[in-house]
Amino acid sequence: MKDNILVIGGTGKTGRRVVTSLRALGHHVRIGSRSQTPAFNWDDPSTYAPVLEGMDKAYVVYSPDLAVPGAKDAIRALVRESRKAKLKKVVLLSGKGEREAEACEKIVADSGLPYTLVRASWFNQNFSESFLLEPVLAGHVALPMPDAAIPFVDADDIAEVVVKALLNDTLDGQTLEVTGPEKITFATVVREIARATDREITYQAISLEEYGRALRNARLPDDYVWLLEYLFREVLGNDENQTVSPDFERLTGKQPTSFREYARRVAQTGVWSPKIVSPV
Ligand SMILES: NC(=O)c1ccc[n+]([C@@H]2O[C@H](COP(=O)([O-])OP(=O)(O)OC[C@H]3O[C@@H](n4cnc5c(N)ncnc54)[C@H](OP(=O)(O)O)[C@@H]3O)[C@@H](O)[C@H]2O)c1
């Protein structure tokens, strides 16, 4: 049976991949985001009901992060509207090791709706589709937490698990943790990208304070700086968060994508090749 599935955040890193897979399987997908019609905006609860109308299931990606103030109210309101819309399933993307996100997970788990929680570790794609692309292009990556060993996960793997969760009710009520196959440091990440691109890229270990100062000097908004500092300190600062999970292999029978494989694939697309602007 083909479902009507709402993908909130369907233009983002995991959402876009989930949309592509569901459409390839013949499901009817509606993207929920500010740039769609009807527009969906987390900051405006009056936009929730129109995108839920006629939907059977939803994949929920909260932006910018379930840890920010306001996330709980938004998730509570979305759950309320989802019950009214009689959704048959909600899959929530959460962050592995984010204590603040657990309150939002609980709202979904206590909603009375069938649900699956997907907790992901830090994404590989932060280096190619997000805030860490720019330093890679500049050839100099200065980041705190040099000792943190992180099981970076590929957004393709997260999407594969999300699609399974949306389509299999045997996964109802479960919390799935998706990570990569191994724990690596930022120094290794940068070495792998340099190797894959055949470029010279350096890693510089800095303190969290220096990182925060650099972000503020770049005139990034205070709430964005707060969030990045929180994610580095709380998520990467606690080694207990950084365990490799067996869930991807258990569900798919495959090994998760390694960072080396991701780097090889992305390098071929040219995303990491600095653009050379020729003088006029
Ligand atoms: N990045 C990581 O390493 C990581 C790790 C674990 C968990 N997560 C979780 O992943 C989630 C998304 O993070 P991300 O950085 O990966 O997202 P992303 O790829 O940047 O995608 C954001 C998506 O949300 C939409 N969006 C942004 N602001 C919105 C708003 N106010 N209302 C409605 N839609 C909005 C965007 O589309 P429009 O611009 O069209 O609105 C886009 O589709 C967060 O909940 C985070 O906790 C991320």
Classify the phi-psi angles of 10: left when phi > 0, otherwise alpha if psi is within -120 to 50, otherwise beta.
alpha
Q: Report the pLDDT value the prediction gives residue 238, as an integer from 0 to 100.
A: 83
How many Cα atoms are found within 13 Å in the side-chain-facing hemisphere of 172? 12
Going from the Cα of 200 to the center of ligand 1, the distance in angstroms, rounded, reads: 30
Q: Centre a 10 Å sphere on the Cβ of residue 207 and count the other Cβ atoms it contains.
A: 11
Contact by Cβ (8 Å): 269, 133: no
In angstroms, what CA-CA distances link 96 with 13, 129, 138, 151, 191?
17, 20, 29, 10, 25
The pLDDT tens digits of the residues spanning 104-134 come to 999 999 999 999 999 999 999 999 999 999 9
The preferred substitution site among 33, 129, 245 for testing ligand 1, maximizing ligand atoms within 8 Å of CB, is 33
Question: The tokens 């990606």 sit on which residue?
Answer: 61
Q: Report the pLDDT value the prediction gives residue 188, as an integer from 0 to 100.
A: 98
> For ligand 1, atom 47, which residue shows the shortest CA distance?
65
Nearest CA to 12 out of 108, 119, 155 is that of: 155
Domain residue ranges of the chain, discontinuous segments joined by +: 4-121+154-178+243-252
Token readout for 8 is 């909130």
Asked if residue 232 has its Cβ within 6 Å of ligand 1, the reply is no
Angle at 140 between CA 222 and CA 125, to 5 degrees: 70
Residue 23: in which H helix or E strand, if any? helix 13-24
Query: CA 132, CA 196: separation in Å to the nearest integer?
Result: 16
Going from the Cα of 151 to the center of ligand 1, the distance in angstroms, rounded, reads: 20
Cα-Cα-Cα-Cα torsion 68, 74, 75, 81, nearest 10 degrees, comes to -170
What is the CATH T-level fold of the domain 4-121+154-178+243-252, as seen in this structure?
Rossmann fold (3.40.50)
CB-based contacts of 211, cutoff 8 Å, min separation 6: 142, 143, 144, 228, 229, 232
Give CA 277 to chain center in angstroms. Answer: 32
Asked if residue 46 has its Cβ within 6 Å of ligand 1, the reply is no
Asked if residue 41 has its Cβ within 6 Å of ligand 1, the reply is yes
pLDDT < 50 positions in the chain: none
SS3 165: helix
Query: CA 20, CA 66: separation in Å to the nearest integer?
Result: 24
Query: CA 62, CA 58: separation in Å to the nearest integer?
Result: 12
Token readout for 217 is 């000097």
Q: Report the pLDDT value the prediction gives residue 163, as an integer from 0 to 100.
A: 98
Q: What are phi and psi of 88, to 5 degrees?
A: -95, -10
Going from the Cα of 8 to the center of ligand 1, the distance in angstroms, rounded, reads: 9
Atom of ligand 1 nearest to the CA of 35: 40
Question: The tokens 């999300």 sit on which residue?
Answer: 162
The stretches of 25-124 forming alpha helices (DSSP H) are 48-52, 71-84, 99-109
Asked if residue 122 has its Cβ within 6 Å of ligand 1, the reply is yes
> For ligand 1, atom 17, which residue shows the shortest CA distance?
12
Q: What is the pTM of this model?
A: 0.96
How many Cα atoms are found within 13 Å in the side-chain-facing hemisphere of 37? 0
